[in-house]
A and B are shown apart, each in its own frame.
Chain A
Amino acid sequence: MAAPHREQLIRHCIGAANSIHDECTLSSTTGGGGSPLAACGQALVDLLSRQAHSVCSSYRNHESATAGSPTPAEAEAKAEVLTMKRLEDLASIAYAKFYAFLYKDLPVCWRQLYTDARILKFCLLVLRSPYGAADRGIAANDNGNDDGEEATLCELIKTLDLALILAGAAGELRGRGWIDTALDLLRLTCIERAATAPTKSAQAIAASLQYRAGTTGEGDYADAKVFSTDEPFTPPVKHPIRRVPAPSMEDFQTYLDRAGGAQPLVMRGAIGGSWPALTTRRWDQPSYLLSRTFGGRRLVPVEVGRSYVDEGWGQRLVTFGSFLREYIDPSLSPTPPPPTSTSLPPEANATTTAGKPIAYLAQHPLLTQLPSLRADILLPDYCYTSPPASLTSTDNGEDPAPLDEPLLNAWFGPPGTITPLHTDPYHNVLAQVVGRKYVRLYSAAETPRMAARGREGGVEMGNTSLVDVGVVEGWDAAEDEDDDKQEQRRRQFAEIPFMDSILEPGDLLYIPVGWWHYVRGLSVSFSVSFWWN
């Protein structure tokens, strides 16, 4: 039966394996000049090259097997197991370098080695999966083992997401472009397969990828259902930031250039009518977000803990679906989560939030990782204005290089997320897409009074304040034992002038470079920040 997408996926994989093998050969024969991989050393290039060759052989064997000629299946399976192990070895060797170097000093070769090892693993997994094998895979999976396909699919997606998230999918010839295409072909293959494979899992997977706007779904979510707007705590706004209807780009430029320096500004409803994320492809609908994240199977990095300066704070990779169900809005999941989350830690199966730490998808280039969501937003025109130069240089004296295009970050979390008081080296437009957020700003001119941290454990923390605004205001309990010194610091801090506001869906907030900001999610909240200079 014709399966054009599956055939494309297989060709895409064969292409990658060949291309990795060629690049390794080039890097060995041209004294390394031909490929960034050469900087990993010839031994590792040689090992990667052998695995690429082995994956190519597996595909060739598979083709000849489906053409009818018998192959020594046992030896082939054994070789594939060893290849899989070597690809894990390569990935772990490269991964160790991500920690051994300061990120800014990490040679790109290690990110590419990691990415290529993950791409090859994906290719081998595809071959052994129902999406690659025309005969043997389907036969193996229809033998009563219905969960096998779900687990295989999650493993395929995870393999490439690790390369995207941990290694930034480095590599000129393959890299992010190859991975984005592979995931899209995999998605299309799943849908295509549902038309011919009558298994329950194949049907369920295809259904999880569809979005039916405005209708009522039968699965875990009614399609039109939106996130809870529950707001457990609402701080008072004491010194409101100026709020105006969306200005024209020219008016905004005039505002930036005015004497005395640019001031913060809330542009009311500036994105409300124009962004698909707020109109036709609504980000406040869990079913929509799930359909755009491979049925919630894509991995995302989340910060677990109240705030990045707290003890016990840490980062974790979880599936987008479990992040929604377990952390963002447990009311979405009245029943225990489906078996898709069995690979997650045990606490992920809890249906209650009691005692559960807050998790925040914060400062992550989610829209680069998930290009289909990127299409739901528009770059605000305001990011094309020329902002005034920074009045106060950053603490380490290094001004960031000019950006070619704005840096986008996603901020998605449950009520109560906190971004501690800090300052960024860029002008910032924060777009509020879902829910409400409280923001408080202190002028760059107050920097000497912001109690900036210093170097902590070899990490520069000078852009973050020692002061916890929530504790100063009595909204949160102090983490540490209170002593007189802290008490005094808080009293003094309470006297510093500030501006604050609560952002509503559709609002844009302009934060001038160097201004200190404290941000607190009030309800389920999804924002996108744009840094530019």
Chain B
Amino acid sequence: MDLYATGFNAWRQLEFDDEPSGLAATNEPDDVTSFRLVLSDPLLIEPPCALLSCTFTRTSTGLRQAGFVDESVGETTPGLRDKLLSSTAAIAGNGSVAAIGQRQFPETKQIVQLVAYETGFIALAEDGCVWSWGDERYAACMGREITPLSPAERPAVIEELEDLPTGKIVKVAAAGYVILALTEGHDLYAWGGHPGRQAILGDLSGSPTPVLVEENDIVDCSIGESHIIVLTENGDVYVIGDNSNGQLGLAVEKTATWVKVPLSLEEAHSVIGVRAGPRSSFILTKRHVP
């Protein structure tokens, strides 16, 4: 399996080399502006977890990390790092941390995925229900009504994501002030927005709305501070949003429409997953066994 990456690299968080060459180590690292191979493993690379200054992933030879690993998620506290990797804990932009088991949900729902945006959290339960809680000033990110009975700061279900035409939600992603949710039937939904700012997606609101990526079915999605990356059922990768750190892997400043990422993969390789860091993007590929 191969991992490709592009984007913000101020701490060499896109360089998994164990021993960087002498010259490269002394120069200020520049950003990576197109997808390039950063890690290979004959057996396994798990989808990486990318924080602002570092990247983690599990491979067949164990945990690999790149960049500047802060103490909070480093060797001294491996617990949080492992939970971040398994999406059972998340850190919001305002510094608050949520972890599964730490929060008491009204019904003892089995939470399978926990993600954070700038000022709050989104949890996906096994039954497909999506819960949100956070700072009520950014009400659009909640995707639900805020009422005295279900205040912003207490987890509550986003009812508009129930009974969707293509089945239950199977994956969520969040960053900045935008949240994504993917259905069983490969439809992508989005909601959120920051008052007074241009949103990454055109018709974003506080109500989950289907996102059309040139009529494609979507099988994987991820989001950074101001960009989105998706994988279509055909195996194509599309991106949208800001490219100021090269996070789109394209030669543009930004894009307000979806752009297909030109990839030249080796024979018999295909993309199996996509991930976004706050200002970076990752593509995971795999060779088909004939």
Q: Which residues in A have some Cβ–Cβ distance to B below 8 Å?
A: 41-44, 46-47, 50, 54, 79, 82-83, 85-86, 89, 93, 96-97, 99-102, 105, 314, 457-459
Contacts and interface: CB of A to CB of B under 8 A. Distances in A.
**Which label, helix, strand, loop or mixed, suits the secondary structure of the B interface?**
loop
B93 A43 contact: no
B70 interface: yes
26 contacts: A41-B70, A43-B11, A43-B52, A43-B70, A44-B53, A46-B68, A47-B11, A47-B53, A50-B28, A82-B30, A86-B10, A89-B10, A93-B52, A96-B118, A96-B225, A99-B118, A100-B93, A100-B94, A100-B119, A102-B135, A105-B94, A457-B139, A458-B136, A458-B138, A458-B152, A459-B137
Nearest to B135: A458
Interface residues of B, number: 30
A44 B135 CA distance: 25
Interface string B54-85: 10000000000001101110000000000000
A286 to B, nearest CB: 30
Contact of A457 (B28, B30, B70, B136): B136
Interface of B: 8, 10-11, 28, 30-31, 52-54, 67-68, 70-72, 92-95, 118-119, 135-139, 152, 194, 196, 225, 245
Contacts of A46: 11, 68
A90 B135 CA distance: 24
A50 B33 CA distance: 21
B194 A43 contact: no
Nearest to A75: B27
Contacts of A457: 136-137, 139
Contacts of B53: 41, 43-44, 47
A42 B135 contact: no
Contacts of B119: 99-100
A85 B135 CA distance: 31
Nearest to A42: B70
Contacts of B225: 96
A54 B26 CA distance: 12
A76 to B, nearest CB: 12
B28 A82 contact: yes
A299 B227 CA distance: 30
7 tightest A-B CB contacts, nearest first: A458-B137, A458-B136, A43-B53, A100-B93, A43-B68, A100-B94, A100-B118
A458 B52 CA distance: 28
Given A89-B10, A458-B139, A96 B28 contact: no
Given A43-B52, A43-B68, A100-B94, 11 more contacts: A41-B53, A42-B70, A43-B70, A46-B11, A50-B28, A54-B28, A86-B28, A96-B93, A96-B118, A101-B95, A457-B139
Nearest to A89: B10
